[in-house]
Amino acid sequence: MQTTGLTELEAVQAVARHRNFRSAATQIGISRSALSHMVAVLESRLGARLFHRTTRSVALTEAGERFVAETGPALRDIREAMERLGDHQAEPSGTLRINASSGAARQIMAPVVLEYVRRFPRVTIDIVTEGKLVDIVLEGFDLGVRLAEAVPRDMIAVPLGPQQRFAVVGSPAYFERHPRPLAPGDLAAHACIRSRMPGGGIYRWEFEHHGEQVEIDGTGPLILDDPLLMIEAARAGIGLAYLTEWNVADDFASGRLVRVLEDWTPPFPGLCLYYPGRRHLAAHHRAFVDLARDVARNANPSSPEGKTWRAPDA
């Protein structure tokens, strides 16, 4: 029987992760037709169908589920062995896949990602941004970046920066037409630009003051799922938006947006870089983690940022 190569096994794992031949082919750097042919040849050699294919979907068969589950750990062991061998190289190289929310990616781009690219030109960083939290191991990512509260409890997390805060903001023109709210309950009389969460639900604005916690489900003319669109609408005077300070800092400085209810929005833990604790970190992975830790430490020398910690139970 002809032996099966690592490339074919990696191809099956990629298709199983993405449930899509085109996305899997893009990840591993071959054409869709070549990937489809590779899987078909492997299925013929094994005498078993691994995937159900239609024009709209790809799903694992029962045999495919078993094959992926049984070969996955061995492939991870082989990859890690190869990475450990590659650690002896003079300069880190390879591809580093990172999953992050769009806001998190924007926050780490200049201080960490661009600096890393300058230091290690032989490494390609592949960042995928999405709102929903994904299993970075199952989806084939090396690292993730999320708010500390969203980091899965079985991951190693490295704080990336200071605490963050939310801010309720509106334009000067809006406040010429409406009185400023003094407490969360006053928002019932205001137009709120609401936020749709990745799971489809509408986010309830959260407030806290001297131990009193309040959640507000406002009403308004817009429901959006992109902070940049919310900022644009708030600047235009459409209503009030609830955003992180980081997103609207420039608007505060320029006067384009005005903040209200500041004493009702206490700080919360900021961003974390995270990765599986059981996985060996290749040289280019370790270099990114070390740089992120150094950037956080230099930005906040008196804070605990930069220390590695295990994420607490959610």
* Per-residue model confidence as pLDDT tens digits over 242-296: 999 999 999 999 999 999 999 999 999 999 999 987 666 788 899 999 999 998 8
Dig out the tokens for 22 from the structure: 């085109």
pTM across the whole model: 0.67
- CA–CA separation, 22 and 35 (whole Å): 9
242 part of a folded domain: yes
Residues 6+ apart with CB under 8 A from 154: 276, 277, 311
pLDDT of residue 310: 38
Residues of the chain with pLDDT under 50: 1, 302-314
pLDDT of residue 308: 39
Per DSSP, the three-state class of 241 is strand
Residues 126, 96: contact at Cβ < 8 Å?
A: yes
283 part of a folded domain: yes
Nearest to 248, CA basis, from 267, 235, 266, 261: 235
The DSSP letter of residue 9 is H
Which CATH number does the domain housing residue 76 bear? 1.10.10.10
1 part of a folded domain: no
Which CATH number does the domain housing residue 181 bear? 3.40.190.290
295 part of a folded domain: yes
| Strands across the sheet containing 166-170 | 222-224, 192-195, 240-244, 166-170, 258-260
pLDDT of residue 278: 64
* 45 and 182 belong to one structural domain: no
Residues 6+ apart with CB under 8 A from 42: 4, 8, 11, 12, 50
35 part of a folded domain: yes
pLDDT of residue 305: 42
* 182 and 120 belong to one structural domain: no
Nearest to 127, CA basis, from 152, 111, 145, 149: 145
pLDDT of residue 306: 39
Q: Alpha carbon of 284 to those of 57, 69, 88, 294: distances in Å?
A: 35, 27, 11, 15
Instruction: Give residue 162's Cα distance to chain centre.
Output: 18
Which CATH number does the domain housing residue 108 bear? 3.40.190.10
* 153 and 191 belong to one structural domain: no
171 part of a folded domain: yes
Q: Alpha carbon of 244 to those of 126, 172, 203, 217, 268: distances in Å?
A: 25, 19, 14, 17, 11
Number of domains present in the structure of the chain? 3
Q: How many CB atoms lie within 10 A of CB 204?
A: 15
pLDDT of residue 111: 93
* 121 and 258 belong to one structural domain: no
* 227 and 279 belong to one structural domain: no
* 54 and 10 belong to one structural domain: yes
Dig out the tokens for 204 from the structure: 């309830």
Residues 231, 167: contact at Cβ < 8 Å?
A: no
End residue of a domain, out of 30, 52, 86: 86
121 part of a folded domain: yes
Residue 123: domain span: 94-157+270-310
